[in-house]
Chain A
């Protein structure tokens, strides 16, 4: 006992209870006020939101002009959005100058496309292969006949000069994806090929297109495609930008597909060869179905990029959605300072809903395909 230097005889002061870790207070302490810097950031952001959100609400709802015959009322309400302008121009934004009585044709092309895309992208939908055939082969023909018209079917011809608005944006993106996917798959296979000439041709095409801005590709298609055709051939005004879009998208898709091809284990190739399959049957029956399923998220992300890039076709004279909005600002009856912000806000909302929705879809597929969770 004598060895013990110190033995505590009395109990120490009672410690305060530990900080609350549960419930809203505990959550706020951990996530909003964990340190002095964090608290400062929280207060600053809170102040920002407290100022900006009501301001935004007032601009978009309470002080906004919801209906008006022309721009006069909007010019009077400088501190509110002019939704009346959007309502008034909505048909122009959707169809451009497509003739009034024929707009059901645009609607039906859009509806068929929507049904086919949902069918194709819904993981549990039955017979997706059939949907793919419809989408990649039948749909482009039906769509072209409906939009352009065919005298024998009693559909009056509609000159592509009149096409415009949302439907041109969708059309460009859809044509881009429908035609570029097969080309992109071929380019990706070519790039992985053991044949040097095939490989070199694919690499040169892919890298040249990917190294150049989309606008330059569009300018090139616009200026050089007519030169490459025999003397006297005329092209529809729409064709060069669409060709440019397809070539541009194909180069990017090729790299996406190549990623899927590289992700497949060698055993798949070797197994197919051991079964005695030749190159095309091995590729078509074993490799591509797996590789393409792997890169669906990448393809969807590519499509989002392509959809945003379709705004650039305005540089060669196509009237896409954004160009339609810009055109509508020139209407003297609807001029005014609030129109610009309203129009761009509407465009932003449209693109955001579209792109965000698709990015959620691709993220969900990616989670399904994640290692360990594959179904």
Chain B
């Protein structure tokens, strides 16, 4: 009798049995929900005459995009519009990351400066940028600053080389002639030589203990070799300046105000967050570390480079990664200033024209997820290389 009761109790309260029950119920509920949503979606799409597959991908888009990295016209396909948007997203993200990182590190280090005024100024920067919405900052730069610049005819200009007006910033554009490749080859050779010298110097330092880092000759090599090649190849690179034609400037390299506002907003906003990450990372390195380095006789600068920075970097990289991912995701605020990024072109214009909401949103989400995964994977590799080697 006791056996039978134990058996009964074990069926009702066996954790494995209950786990199976719960999970089956959850899975059934989820599958049911998805199936219901799916059948509703199919019915809705058929009722509205929405295309079901990806057939629209190769249809003619019929709209134009004012800023593209690859050629695009109204005759191009929706598929090509997707690539234009994706490349524009990556462009603004890469440039913003490249600018926000040094600015953030500079502000973060200024926050730690012994100079009271400097650290207060950095604090004001951090609090102002972190406590106002990114969108506010972007529309401020776009509407209140860049769009109120003078008309092209009254452009602000620096020595007739750089022009700034409400249509954008115009820089001189290099024009590559025949033989320009020689300069590239020279630069590649110089870089390879510098790397080889650095490796050799490092080995010598390990073997003999003699320091060997000659930054200046490396710099001279990298800068000098292309210059020599430039003259040796008969100056194959020309420069094209922007010129006023009618009501607008033509030629030169043009930076559109939409792109500039988005980049400015992303860089200034994210730098505030990076500054706090840097400050927290450096502060988290125990004071004993720099004291020990000083006791070993390391100069303050060397102690910073060899002892404090590597340890701080280990703490800084993971949150820095999430800030980089935030930049990539926040670049979708392009929608508000009309910069043709993935969301505006693809999830906006293409979706509205084809009505293929399911397909377009699935592709958009997939792209962002893939970018997030790739970036986290790359930075995890970097982290693993930097991680404490423990036994």
Contact = CB atoms under 8 A, between A and B. Distances in A.
Tell me, yes or no, whether A binds B: yes
Interface of A: 30-32, 34, 38, 41-42, 45-46, 194-198, 201, 207-208, 210-216, 219-220, 223-224, 226-231, 304, 308-309, 311-312, 314-315, 322, 326, 329, 337, 340-341, 344, 347-348, 351-352, 355-356, 359
25 contacts: A42-B118, A45-B121, A46-B117, A194-B19, A195-B23, A198-B23, A198-B26, A211-B325, A211-B372, A212-B329, A213-B329, A213-B343, A213-B368, A216-B364, A219-B364, A224-B358, A227-B45, A229-B44, A231-B44, A311-B133, A314-B336, A344-B139, A348-B132, A352-B132, A355-B131
Interface string B342-368: 010001100100000110010011001
A344 B357 contact: no
A344 B136 contact: yes
Interface residues of B, number: 55
Contacts of B343: 213, 215-216, 219
Interface string B67-88: 0000000000000000000000
A219 B336 contact: no
A132 to B, nearest CB: 27
B132 A337 contact: no
Contacts of A42: 115, 117-118
B27 interface: yes
Given A344-B139, A347-B136, A352-B128, A198 B351 contact: no
A344 B47 contact: no
Given A38-B114, A227-B44, A227-B358, A311 B19 contact: no
B111 to A, nearest CB: 13
A308 B330 contact: no
Contacts of A214: 329, 332
Secondary structure dominating the interface of A: helix
Given A231-B44, A340-B144, A359-B130, 18 more contacts: A34-B115, A38-B115, A42-B115, A42-B117, A45-B121, A194-B19, A198-B26, A208-B365, A211-B373, A213-B329, A216-B361, A226-B44, A227-B44, A228-B41, A312-B135, A314-B135, A314-B336, A356-B131
Interface of B: 19, 22-23, 26-27, 30, 37, 40-41, 43-45, 47, 113-118, 121, 127-128, 130-136, 139-140, 143-144, 148, 325, 329-333, 335-336, 343, 347-348, 351, 357-358, 361, 364-365, 368-369, 372-373
Interface centre among B43, B116, B369, B372, by most A CB within 10 Å?
A: B116
A224 B139 contact: no
Contacts of B114: 30-31, 34, 38
A314 B130 CA distance: 21
Contacts of B40: 227-231
A299 B274 CA distance: 20
Nearest 3 pairs of A and B residues by beta carbon: A31-B116, A355-B131, A197-B23
A227 B41 contact: yes
A31 B116 CA distance: 5
